[in-house]
């Protein structure tokens, strides 16, 4: 947000748009917690997304700051939900035609609508920057995992840690690091999006956690969030494809070749967009056998991807 000095992460910005779905009263403390921001930064956000206080009333009640949100106010002068605003932004950004050029011109002349579109444009830019920065961090962490190196980590919140990275995997919908704390040797989970800096350090001691303990730790987390599913695939011509998706934990993998030369591939996985992308890259070489719910989610993902490029 220009001029504010406030740097929001893409996750916080997306949560910002979710506020458009809220209705009613919430404490500033709870709202800040949901967005992962300080109370001061949340107030800055509210003043920018709801110009002149229209749509979000801020007041004190029983010595606590409260926020009263009118979900309809986010629609401004067009009857669009937050997700539809994002769709409109993507359309105007990717397609070119005289009609859309006229629409862009009208948007730039309308103050409230222009504010929303600028906000979404900043979100796209910050997503790109985050992707580039964190890709370098993941490369460093992958090196640390393979060579059992200790790293120094600085988070976006300014906290520092010394850890032995164990796995970089998709967990609970986010690319995450499973690591052994260099001090107490406990296993911890950190989202890659929370990391700011990673550097290789000279270790004064060796990691103590065994690989099977890391696997059990991942299984325990998945069992708690109930997102794990047993995926069964039939893969044709398996010698020509990548059978192991990057940064995914495969629980109890099993691979058997049938009489026709097809590979029956099975493992416990956590469904996410990155896993769907891996299946897309396999193309016609893969067939999802089970479960049906996963197949439906995968087909919906493919349909949505086609709509975006259409």
Contacts of 262 (CB under 8 A, 6+ apart): 234, 235, 236, 238
> Domain ranges in the chain?
10-126, 148-224, 228-309
Is residue 209 a contact partner of residue 166, using CB atoms and an 8 Å limit?
yes
Look at residue 91 in the predicted model and tell me its pLDDT.
Answer: 62
Look at residue 144 in the predicted model and tell me its pLDDT.
Answer: 92
Q: Is the pLDDT of residue 163 over 80?
A: yes
Q: Which residues pair with 256 in a beta bridge?
A: 264
Question: Is the bond into 33 cis (omega within 30 degrees of 0)?
Answer: no
Q: Is the pLDDT of residue 10 over 90?
A: no
pLDDT in tens, 106-151: 666 655 556 555 655 555 554 544 566 778 888 899 899 999 999 9
Dig out the tokens for 98 from the structure: 């005289």
pLDDT in tens, 207-235: 999 988 998 888 888 878 777 889 999 99
- Rounded average pLDDT over 57-80: 68
CATH level 2 (architecture), domain 228-309:
2-Layer Sandwich (3.30)
Look at residue 76 in the predicted model and tell me its pLDDT.
Answer: 44
Nearest-5° angle of CA 249, CA 250, CA 255? 155
Q: Which residues pair with 283 in a beta bridge?
A: none
Dig out the tokens for 79 from the structure: 């009857």
Using CB atoms within 10 Å of the CB of residue 276, give its burial: 0 to 12 exposed, 13 to 18 middle, 19+ buried: buried
Look at residue 4 in the predicted model and tell me its pLDDT.
Answer: 38
CATH topology of domain 10-126: Arc Repressor Mutant, subunit A (1.10.10)
CATH code for the part of the protein at 148-224: 2.30.30
């Amino acid at each position: 947000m220009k001029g504010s000095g406030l740097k929001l992460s893409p996750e916080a910005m997306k949560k910002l748009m979710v506020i458009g779905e809220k209705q009613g009263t919430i404490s500033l403390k709870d709202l800040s917690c949901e967005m992962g921001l300080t109370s001061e930064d949340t107030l800055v956000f509210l003043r920018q997304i709801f110009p002149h206080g229209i749509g979000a009333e801020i007041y004190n009640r029983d010595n606590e700051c409260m926020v009263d949100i009118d979900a309809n106010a986010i629609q401004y002068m067009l009857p669009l939900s937050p997700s539809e605003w994002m769709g409109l932004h993507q359309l105007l950004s990717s397609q070119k035609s005289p009609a859309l050029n006229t629409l862009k011109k009208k948007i730039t002349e309308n103050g409230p609508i222009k504010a929303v579109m600028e906000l979404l444009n900043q979100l796209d830019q910050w997503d790109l920057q985050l992707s580039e920065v964190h890709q370098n961090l993941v490369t460093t962490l992958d090196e640390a995992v393979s060579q059992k190196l200790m790293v120094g980590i600085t988070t976006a919140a300014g906290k520092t840690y010394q850890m032995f990275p164990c796995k970089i995997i998709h967990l609970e919908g986010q690319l995450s690091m499973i690591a052994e704390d260099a001090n107490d040797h406990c296993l911890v989970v950190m989202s890659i999006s929370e990391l700011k800096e990673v550097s290789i350090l000279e270790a004064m001691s060796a990691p103590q956690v065994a690989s099977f303990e890391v696997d059990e730790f991942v299984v325990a987390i998945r069992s708690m969030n109930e997102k794990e599913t047993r995926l069964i695939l039939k893969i044709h011509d398996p010698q020509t494809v990548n059978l192991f998706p990057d940064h995914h934990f495969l629980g109890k993998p099993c691979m058997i070749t049938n009489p026709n030369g097809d590979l029956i591939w099975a493992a416990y996985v956590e469904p996410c967009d990155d896993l769907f992308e891996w299946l897309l890259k396999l193309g016609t070489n893969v067939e999802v056998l089970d479960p049906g719910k996963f197949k439906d989610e995968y087909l919906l993902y493919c349909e949505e991807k086609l709509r975006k490029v259409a």
